Homo-oligomer: A and B are copies of this chain.
Amino acid sequence: MAPSDISTRLTRALQENAPVGPGIEPHLQAVIFESAAHPGRLIRARLVHAACIAHGLEESSAERLACAIEYFHLASLLLDDLPCMDDAQTRRGRPCPHRVHGDASTILASLAFINRAYALANLSFAPQPPAVRIAAHACLDACLGTSGLVGGQALDLRFAEGAGDARAVTVVAVRKTAALFWLAVVFPALLAQPSPDELRALKALCLYWGLAYQALDDLDDIPASSGDTGKTSGRDRLLQRPNLALALGVPAARTRLERLARQATATVTRLEQTHSRWAYLAEFHRTFFIGQVSTLLDAASLRAA
């Protein structure tokens, strides 16, 4: 399927599976509908969808699992933007929902997305053998809980109370950004019952991708290197939040990004050589990831020239 077809289908699926129903309070419904209708680039949903198809799930089940992971992501964005967290004003070029519908409706919409995400994920894994289902539940617990997204966000918010060095920045990036890739890569890969070697490689890939994406985001947050991402920028310094480019300097952060990209390339190549069922990861890496890294590094080089 062409990428644009997939995006269209996933965008429709996100609206169809949204947690709304009869008698829902209008503000809550508005936050849910607006969030589901403006889902960004769907990187994680497309990765999950590709994994599910590669691992033999039917289209409807693949879409459900893709929606599940995207809903977890959406929920984390809604909460991260709250005044008591990042106090963001805009997201994806639009006013944040809490500014339009209030904090309470935004928190409740986030919970509704999480709840529906669990329902969809559980449904997609329901026909699997017990060992796969138990591994899947443990994976969600690790990625979403205090060792993953929730724990990462807590460290992120209290970053100013810690050492503030590159190591502390990396710990937050592992728990937040790498955990989201883990959800999008390792979680659906459990359907294929990967070998221990494959599982190790998949986890390493998530680490490289996650840290690289966070480095991209951090470089993007530095006003001098920022493009128009539709997000509030330059806030990491202001809010004393973890930022690799602030901790290491822009040149060293760029060097690290290049190294992470090379490590990711080596890992997907190894996975692809192990088994053709991992070809979708190499495809994603080449068409999407490398493109993004190159664009940022080229743009920075042009500005430096």
Residues of A within 8 A of B (CB): 19-29, 32, 79, 82, 84-85, 102-105, 107-108, 111-112, 114-116, 118-119, 122-123, 126-127, 130, 133-134, 137-138, 140-141, 144-147, 150-151, 153-155, 157-158, 171
Note all chain B residues with C-beta closer than 8 A to A29.
Answer: 146
B107 near A145: Cβ-Cβ < 8 Å: no
Bound Cα distance from A32 to B150, whole angstroms: 12
- Tell me if A107 and B104 are in contact (CB < 8 A): no
Q: CB < 8 Å: which of B26, B79, B130 contacts A127?
A: B130
**Interface pair B154/A24, CB less than 8 Å apart:** yes
- The answer to whether A154 and B122 touch (CB under 8 A), given A84-B103, A107-B79, A171-B23, is no
A123 lies within 8 A of B137 (CB): yes
Expressed in whole angstroms, the minimum distance between the Cβ of A138 and any Cβ of chain B is 7
Contact B157 A104 (CB under 8 A): yes
Check if B154 sits within 8 Å of A108, measured CB to CB: yes
Identify the closest chain B residue to A175 (Cβ). B23
How far is B146's CA from A28's CA once the two chains are assembled, in angstroms? Answer: 9
The residue among A23, A111, A138, A146 with the most chain B CB atoms within 10 A of its own CB is A146
Chain B residues with Cβ under 8 A from A114's Cβ? Answer: 111, 114-115
Given the known A-B contacts A126-B134, A146-B24, are A141 and B115 also in contact in the complex, defined by CB atoms under 8 Å?
yes
Known contacts A150-B108, A154-B108; A115/B144 CB under 8 A: yes
The answer to whether B107 and A146 have CB atoms under 8 Å apart is no
Complex CA gap A22/B115 in Å reads 26
Smallest CB–CB gap between A104 and chain B, Å? 5
Please name all residues of chain B whose beta carbon is closer than 8 Å to the beta carbon of A27 when the two chains form the complex. Answer: 154, 158
Give the residues in chain B near A137, CB-CB below 8 Å.
Answer: 118-119, 122-123, 126
How close is A59's CB to chain B, nearest CB, in angstroms? 20
A108 to B16, CA, bound (A): 28
A84 neighbours in B (Cβ, 8 Å): 102-104, 107
- What is the distance, in angstroms, from A231's C-beta to the closest C-beta of chain B? 19
CB distance from A194 to the nearest CB of B (A): 20
Q: Name the CB-closest residue of B to A76.
A: B111
Known A-B contacts A79-B107, A112-B145; the reply to A140 vs B119 at CB < 8 A is yes
